């Protein structure tokens, strides 16, 4: 009787832990959280840029997403402007088709690194709220700002100011 009770309690606890783990696995990456390591998720499409000790913008995009296309020139400008001071921009495509990914990159010729998350492993881990979404990650690998969507000059202005803060060591909250 005691053994059965213990077994049932363990079973119930296991289910509880499974539910909690599932819930946490589906949680969005928010400011203050550590960004998942890019190297761990089998990204294809090119060599992984060196991001250690750098301020990193990780931008999730797709070839079928119009604002993503509009954001590429802005990210190219930011990469050109801040790379020497320690900024790395990485564009992660969530296209299902490798051909669509390759054609988009060939057409837009971004100056920053692009990778292909063909199995949606990383994007599912991060749980991006919309397309595109970019994460500004500080030198310690912690997410400092999240930009859901791309709103032209306004987003670029905000990013520039936030990057300046992080590169200059005057990063604001959180």
Partner 1 sequence: MKRFPKKLIVLAGLAAMALAAGGCSTSAVRVRPWERAALADEVMNPNPDPLGAAMSEHVYFSRAAASGGQGVGGSGCGCN
The window from 4-12, 106-114, 137-145, 153-161 that contacts partner 1 (CB under 8 A) reads 4-12
- Pick the closer one to partner 1 by CB: 129 or 172: 129
Cβ proximity of 145 and 133 under 8 Å: no
Span 106-125, contacts to partner 1 by CB under 8 A: 120, 123-124
Cβ proximity of 55 and 166 under 8 Å: yes
- Residue of 33, 36, 49, 64 that binds partner 1 (CB under 8 A): 64
- Residue of 113, 115, 128, 163 that binds partner 1 (CB under 8 A): 128
- Residue of 56, 58, 60, 112 that binds partner 1 (CB under 8 A): 60
Say whether residue 171 binds partner 1 (CB under 8 A): no
The window from 16-24, 31-39, 134-142, 161-169 that contacts partner 1 (CB under 8 A) reads 16-24
Say whether residue 16 binds partner 1 (CB under 8 A): yes
Q: Is 132 exposed, middle or buried (0-12, 13-18, 19+ CB in 10 A)?
A: buried
- Pick the closer one to partner 1 by CB: 60 or 145: 60
The window from 48-56, 60-68, 107-115, 154-162 that contacts partner 1 (CB under 8 A) reads 60-68
Edge-to-edge strand list for the sheet holding 55-61:
113-116, 87-93, 55-61, 133-137, 143-148
Say whether residue 44 binds partner 1 (CB under 8 A): no
Those residues whose C-beta lies under 8 Å from the C-beta of residue 74, and which sit 6 or more positions away, are 150, 152, 155, 156, 159
| Residue ranges in contact with partner 1 by CB under 8 A | 1, 4-5, 8-9, 11-12, 15-16, 18-19, 22-23, 26, 60, 62, 64-65, 94-96, 120, 123-124, 128-131, 133
């Amino acid at each position: 009787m005691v053994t059965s009770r213990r077994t049932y309690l363990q079973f119930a606890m296991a289910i509880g832990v499974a539910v909690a783990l599932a819930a946490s696995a589906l949680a969005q990456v928010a400011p203050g959280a550590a960004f998942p390591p890019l190297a761990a998720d089998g990204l294809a499409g090119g060599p992984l840029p060196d991001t250690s000790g750098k301020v990193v913008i990780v931008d999730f995009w797709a070839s079928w997403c119009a604002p993503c296309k509009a954001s590429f020139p802005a990210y190219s400008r930011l990469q050109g402007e801040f790379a020497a001071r320690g900024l790395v921009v990485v564009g992660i495509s969530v296209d299902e088709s490798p051909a669509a990914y390759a054609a988009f990159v060939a057409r837009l010729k971004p100056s920053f690194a692009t990778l292909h998350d063909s199995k949606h492993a990383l994007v599912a881990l991060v749980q991006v709220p919309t397309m595109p979404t970019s994460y500004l990650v500080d030198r310690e690998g912690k997410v400092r700002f999240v930009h859901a969507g791309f709103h032209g000059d306004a987003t670029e202005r905000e990013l520039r100011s936030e990057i300046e803060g992080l590169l200059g060591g005057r990063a604001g909250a959180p």
